[in-house]
Chain A
Amino acid sequence: MCLAVPGRVVRVSVVDGTPMAEVDFGGVRKDVCLQYVPDAAPGEYLIVHVGFAIQRLDEESARRTLDEFTRLGLLEEEFGEVP
């Protein structure tokens, strides 16, 4: 279910009273409804599903997840197993 992809806000606008944004998906650009992430600002990354932003992506938490993967990998190399 729920093919949702990350994209970066390029610019925001209001159409028919609804907040909208042009969102860049690695070069592909699409208009996206910002009703549910109304304070999203240009440069921020959002998760977009069927033309709607449903959540903003948290960079700090993404980095922590990746760091954790790397740390687990290093532990495994060092000790041959993971605690």
Chain B
Amino acid sequence: MIDFEGWSCPAPLRDTPHVVAGHGGGGAMSAELVRHLIVPGYGDAGGTADRDCAVVEAGGARLAFTTDAYVVQPMFFPGGSIGDLAVNGTVNDLAMAGATPLYLSAAFILEEGTPLADLGRITAAMGAAATAAGVRLVTGDTKVVGHGNGDGVYLTTSGVGVVADGVEIEPRRATVGDAVLVSGDLGRHGVAVLSCREGLEFGTTVASDTAPLHGLVAAMLATGADLHVLRDPTRGGLAAALNEIAATARVGVELTERDLPVPDGVADACHLLGLDPLQVANEGRLVAFVDADQADDVLAAMRAHPYGTGARRIGTCVADHPGMVVARTALGGTRVISMPIGEQLPRIC
């Protein structure tokens, strides 16, 4: 047994003086940029950095508040567009705090030369997604940057929602003995986007799973179960989501590889490109940590909801190896599911 406790990275930020692509990958580099540069810059004015969504008190109400920027390339992909993501992603960040999403804002950064027809398709997708999610887009902004200074359309949406009394859903509440659930199969969004990315194009029937999840969360809360943690495994995939939760709550997570729902189309694309499906993004899935005694009730409620039909239990929260996620392989060995570092890249070896 190696002593892993003594390990530390001597340079929390890589010794590059510039922003590099990995800072946006949703893995260790993104987290460290926030923790070591952004939050310290805010000083006393900042909040905690361990959540995608803040829950604050305002005027006697518990408000959930979140913001998210969307720079997806390409802007249109099988199953959706940057417009769908900008609404559903922000709705989901609110939902993962147990909030009922209410209002969204949208800021557009437009590159000179972008066809207005593209922008029209994006705003129509936003409207349709907002209607489907039952939220309203009530304010916004537009700016234009020169040709070559953007990739068509960048979008930032912010959202507010209300959190009912008694709902406390936070990563630090992950508890030894919790059942770990996912709402459906994994990796569809990331594979759909990769399939039409310049230089990697491949044909696939896999489409993005983008969907608003607050209805599913409401159905889970309606069982009366105490949901400890909810997380949407977006950038960095299930691996990043579980590692963040394990690190925040100082618990271990043990998965059974056989139970991980990876659809064939995702598995095959990942095999071809040398990617780990557990590190591939999802945009319509959630991970839940709930008391094991209540897991069956929650699973039944999830499966009865259109966005949770593929829900299943994938593992358990354990006292061993705190901060680490470990999977039992089909052959009976174990492997560590590590935190992705930066960008996912196709590999040849």
Q: Which residues of B contact A50 (CB under 8 A)?
A: 348
Closest to B200 in A: A30
Contact yes or no, A2 B349, CB < 8 A: yes
A29-81 interface with B by 8 A CB criterion: 29-30, 49-50
Contact yes or no, A26 B348, CB < 8 A: no
B269-299 interface with A by 8 A CB criterion: 269, 271-272, 274
Interface residue B329 (Cβ < 8 Å from any Cβ of A)? no
Contact yes or no, B204 A49, CB < 8 A: no
Contact yes or no, B268 A25, CB < 8 A: yes
Interface residue B332 (Cβ < 8 Å from any Cβ of A)? no
Distance A49 CA – B349 CA, assembled complex (angstroms): 10
Contact yes or no, A30 B268, CB < 8 A: no
Contact yes or no, B202 A30, CB < 8 A: yes
Interface residue B265 (Cβ < 8 Å from any Cβ of A)? yes
Per-position binary interface string of chain B over residues 246-270, scored 1 when its CB falls under 8 Å from any chain A CB and 0 otherwise: 0000000000000000001101110
Per-position binary interface string of chain B over residues 194-217, scored 1 when its CB falls under 8 Å from any chain A CB and 0 otherwise: 010000001111100000000000
Q: Which residues of A contact B264 (CB under 8 A)?
A: 26-27
Q: Which residues of A contact B274 (CB under 8 A)?
A: 3
Known contacts A3-B274, A5-B271; A29 and B348 CB within 8 A of each other: no
A residues contacting B by CB (< 8 A) are 1-3, 5, 22, 25-30, 49-50
Q: List 10 A-B residue pairs with CB atoms under 8 Å apart, sorted by A's residue number.
A: A1-B349, A22-B203, A27-B206, A27-B268, A28-B204, A28-B272, A29-B203, A30-B202, A30-B203, A49-B348
